[in-house]
């Protein structure tokens, strides 16, 4: 199943959905932690990431805040998770740029993660509902 490539269709049909909960970025160092609780590649008990990114410095996790707290994972950024419900092709051009620009114009930071079927945005938790409204307005303008 291929995704949509036409930017106008992507924007008009994005249907942003705010997922429930608070999400945080945390990291597991590649060589374990100073407490010895986690070795390289070992996920702490009770932690189920919604995103992982393997970097030279360590494994980045996006996890529900409660799981990070329970596992003792340090974190800083608390985010709301918005899923764009349109099935975008991974080689589609312009969706990330248009969404990022609309949010930047509203003064809202955004971390974008592309999944196979959808794009996912992590925005400051306190402004997540506002970000959805900005995206809904962008979709309406694109119709």
pLDDT tens column, 30-85: 754 444 444 455 788 999 999 999 988 889 999 999 999 999 999 989 999 999 99
Residue 100 and residue 123 in contact, taking contact as beta carbons nearer than 8 Å? no
Q: Are residues 40 and 11 in the same domain?
A: no
Q: Is residue 59 part of a domain?
A: yes
Q: What is the count of structural domains for the chain?
A: 2
What pLDDT, in 10s, does the model give residues 5-18? 989 999 999 999 99
From 54, 71, 88, give the residue that closes a domain.
71
Quote the domain boundaries for residue 108.
7-21+78-141
CATH of the domain at 126: 3.30.2130.10
Q: How many Å from the N-terminal Cα to the C-terminal Cα in the chain?
A: 24
Work out the pLDDT band at 29, boundaries 50, 70, 90. Answer: confident
Q: Is residue 2 part of a domain?
A: no
């Amino acid at each position: 199943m291929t995704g949509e490539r036409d930017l106008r269709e992507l924007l008009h049909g994005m249907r942003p959905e705010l997922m429930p909960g608070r999400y945080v970025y945390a990291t597991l160092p590649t060589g374990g932690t100073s407490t010895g609780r986690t070795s390289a590649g070992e996920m702490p008990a009770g932690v189920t990431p919604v995103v992982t990114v393997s970097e030279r410095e360590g494994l980045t996790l996006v996890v529900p805040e409660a799981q990070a707290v329970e596992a003792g994972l340090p974190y800083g950024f608390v985010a709301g998770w918005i899923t764009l419900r349109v099935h975008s092709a991974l080689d589609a051009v312009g969706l990330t740029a248009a969404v990022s620009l609309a949010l930047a114009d509203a003064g809202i930071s955004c971390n974008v993660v592309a999944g196979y079927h959808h794009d996912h945005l992590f925005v400051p938790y306190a402004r997540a509902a506002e970000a959805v409204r900005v995206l809904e307005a962008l979709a309406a303008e694109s119709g």
